Structure 1
């Protein structure tokens, strides 16, 4: 017996396809950023699938926000390290 319900990954693929016209209407330089949002959403597919959300768009948005939060924290750490190195150079 096969699985009758679509998986979370299937939902993400479907959402991405539905937003295809929007993507094509974006400026060329914005399209890779749009694509990256869905990459972030797929990055947490295991956790989102485990959550089994009734609205997969919510899980996709939370996954994107989580990935963005993680990237922001990494950038802040790098800036703090650069700031610390500059402080040492000035001393």
Structure 2
């Protein structure tokens, strides 16, 4: 991604725009969780950009999974302590 391909951040913005009808259909209490998913994907944009994938949606999912796993590990440590 970059010179010949759109950047990952560009893709992520367009992907989030494409998902807005889904967000609008969510219940009010689920919308913050939806927004947090894209925040998590943005937090890992540097790593996802290095992937230079032909399927950038895979990078979005991988970014969210990494963020979810980190949060799960943090919660497990808190429970253990």
Q: CA RMSD in A?
A: 0.9
Structure 2 unaligned blocks of 5 or more: none
Q: Which residue of 1 aligns with 2:61?
A: 61
Structure 1 unaligned blocks of 5 or more: 82-91
Deviations, residues 31-83 of structure 1 (Å, cap 9, x unaligned): 010000011111110011011111110000000000000000000000001xx
- TM-score scaled by length of structure 1: 0.84
Q: Highest CA radius of gyration, 1 or 2? A: 1
- Give the total of aligned pairs: 79
SS at match of 1:70: helix
Runs of 4+ off more than 6 Å: none
- TM-score scaled by length of structure 2: 0.93
